[in-house]
Structures are given as structure tokens and as C-alpha cells.
Amino acid sequence: MSFLAIPFPPIDPVAIEIGPLALRWYALAWVGGLLFAWWYMGVLAARERLWGGAPPITRDDAGDIIVWGTVGVVLGGRLGYVLFYHPGYYLYHPLEALAIWQGGMSFHGGFLGVVLAVILFARFRGRPLSALSDVVAAATPVGLFLGRIANFINQELWGRPADVPWAVIFPLAGPEPRHPSQLYQAGLEGALLFVILAVMVWRFGALRRPWLVTGTFLCGYAVARIIGELFRMPDAHIGYLWGAVTMGMVLSLPMLAVGGAVILWAARQSVR
């Protein structure tokens, strides 16, 4: 054990407990991410100068898409976890696939669920799909940031063994110091990606070019996730696929490819 390792701080995963009711930090992260997205998308929808004219979506659209997106991320996240990470187990225990309260969500599955929700919402409301997609993409990193912080508090998705001065000893992972990979991912997928997209939107008018923010989010998340996976322990029941390659890396590659294609497409389109 490295004498420089940092003991895990005594943080209770339960933030508030009143009798039999317990509110966990992870639930608060979800709520916080959704509330921020609702507020931020409303702000973007109300700023004509960001769109170069009348915004193609309204504040009401921004609020309503939150409901559709929440359903999409929950159902898609659970289905993705079942199909990507535990297909063999749930093949023989199909009813347990519905037990969301037992844990087990996949970002990539949740992402696909949100994509479907945004497509359906755009068709239902008659709004431009590109505009809805861009504002959702711009707001999403804050939710990712809060979710990774909650992962750290829950002592889950911990990092690989490390001897760096900031290595953390997670009691649930044994006595070995490990990379706090949850915090790395919070910084990359959350804080850094949000700043990049915010600068593009507020400084360079990226919302005037349809799909540019969406494509940048896809590429940015994929790169951040692949980097984060270099420090994170793979799921125990899957392990490494080839060498140091993990399932998270493999699932991020299509996002990177699609994101690059979307950016090229956006660059060739006329500005709003």
C-alpha cells in the first residue's frame, strides 16, 4: 500500500434519511442534472442572438423534452445494460431485466433512448430535429458530471490499481490504492465537455449551424470516455476484451465515428 494513498472520505451514499425513506446522492444527481437541463435549454431557447433570428424551439419545448428524455434514458439505459453487459444472465432471468431499482444502467443505452425520444418529440411537435438535438447535447454534460460524482460517493466504477499520490483506497474495492477514475470522468465527460460546448454556443454561435453542437458532443464524449476507460476497472464479469480494450471503449467508437460524420455534415450546411 502506498503511504501517499488517500483514504476514501466517510461519505454516506444516503444524503437524506427520514424514517424508512432514504434519498441517495445518486438520485439527487439525476434530479440536479434534469433541473439544470430544463433551465439551461430554456435559456438557449430564449436567446435570439444565439440562433441568428427567431429560435426554432420554445421554452415549453425545452421543458417538455425533459419528460420524454427522462423516459428514454431510463428505459434505454436499462435495456442497454441488459443487452451490452449481462445478456446471458437476463436471457434466463427475463423478469429481473425490469427491476431497475436493483441497479444497472448503461450510458450508451441511455443515449440511444434519448436519441429516440428526441426524434419522436420532434415529429410530434413539428420542431426541427437539429435544434432539439443541439440544445439537449449542450445541456447533457452537467448531468454526466453529477452522475460521476455520485459514482464516486457510491464507491462504484472505481479505477485500476495506482501508485499516484492522489490514489484512493476504496473500502469496497479492497486495500489497494486505485485511480479515482469516477472523478477523472466527471472532469472530462462533464466539466470539460460542458465548457467546450458552452464556448462554442455563446462565443462562436454554434447553434446557427445545425448539428454542430450535437456532433461535437458525440466526439467529445467518445474521446473522454475512451480516455477514462484507460484508468477504470472493467466490469468484473466482462473484463478486458482484447489487451487493455474494454466494452466502454468499443461502445464509444461508433459515437466517435458518427460524431465526426455529423461535424463534417454540419460544416457543409448553410448557417441559420
pLDDT confidence of residue 92: 64
User: What whole-number distance in Å separates Cα of residue 178 and Cα of residue 155?
Assistant: 11
Q: How far apart are CA 128 and CA 184, in angstroms?
A: 35
CA angle 103/106/109 to nearest 5° reads 130
Q: What cell does 3 get?
A: 503511504
| DSSP classification of residue 202 | H
Give the number of other CB atoms < 10 A from CB of residue 80. Answer: 22
Residue 151 lies in a domain: yes
Q: Take residue 174 and report the three cell numbers written for it.
A: 479492497
Give the count of domains, the chain.
1
The two counts, helices (H) then strands (E), for the chain are 10, 4
* Sign of the C-alpha dihedral computed for residues 63, 259, 149 and 85 taken in this order: positive
Task: Report the pLDDT value the prediction gives residue 26, as an integer from 0 to 100.
Answer: 82
Q: Does some domain include residue 8?
A: no
**Torsions phi, psi for 151 (to 5 deg):** -60, -40
Q: Does residue 145 contact residue 190 with C-beta atoms inside 8 Å?
A: yes
- Which range marks the domain in which residue 259 is found? 25-268
In this predicted model, what pLDDT tens digit does every residue of 165-178 receive, in sequence order? 999 999 999 999 99
Q: Give a yes or no: residue 10 inside a domain.
A: no
Q: Which pLDDT score, from 0 to 100, does residue 17 have?
A: 82
Query: Which CA distances in Å does 225 have to 162, 189, 251, 252?
Result: 19, 7, 10, 7
Render 176-199 in DSSP notation, one character per residue.
S-B--HHHHHIIIIIIIHHHHHHH
In a domain, 211, yes or no: yes
The answer to whether residue 46 is domain-embedded is: yes
Residue at 13 is within a domain:
no
* Cα separation, 60 vs 38, whole angstroms: 10
Q: Residue 5 falls within a domain, yes or no? A: no
pLDDT of the residue at 102:
54
Residues of the chain with pLDDT under 70: 1-4, 81, 84-86, 88-105
Residue 15 within any structural domain of the chain: no
Task: Note the pLDDT of residue 56.
Answer: 95
Can you state the angle between helices 129-153 and 59-85, rounded to 10 degrees?
60
